[in-house]
Amino acid sequence: MNLRLLRSMLFLLSVGALTTVSAFAQTGSMSDQLNAKAKFADDYNARKYRAVIADAATLQKLHIMDKSDAQIVAQAYYLSGDKPGCVKYIQDNFNLPMAESTAQLLKRCQR
């Protein structure tokens, strides 16, 4: 076995491990992430749309918000009756071209 190659591989593995640990440390613990996602889903299912909008800030802080979560937040704005907030949220958080469902929601919010 080539000793130089082995040393290089060990270095890359250790740097990768440090990067992974650092990423988890920055985004919060796994239980924090799971709790935030669970609260987000529970609030939406309970029709607490203002709480869903507030929960989105936590998801963004933990760097775990994805496109489907953003779609749910836009729907929460709409369902709470905040149509101007819905329009602004979609325009600020979705790139063109939008998914068909997002474009339809934007049209509903603009009415």
Q: What is the pLDDT of residues 25-48, one digit of tens each?
A: 555 688 999 999 999 999 999 999
Q: Where are the domains of the chain?
A: 29-110
Residue 62: enclosing H or E segment and its boundaries? none
Residue 96 is given by DSSP the state: S
| Calpha distance 41→34 (Å, rounded) | 11
Q: What is the pLDDT of residues 54-86, one digit of tens each?
A: 999 999 999 999 999 999 999 999 999 999 999
CATH 1.25.40.10 fits 29-110, yes or no: yes
CA torsion angle 73 26 36 83 (round to 10): -10
11: pLDDT strictly greater than 80: no
What average pLDDT does this structure show over 17-26? 48
pLDDT band of residue 19 (cuts 50, 70, 90) is very low
Q: Nearest-CA neighbor of 38 among 7, 59, 9? A: 59
Single-letter amino acid code for the residue at 69: D
Q: Answer whether 0.75 is exceeded by the pTM.
A: no
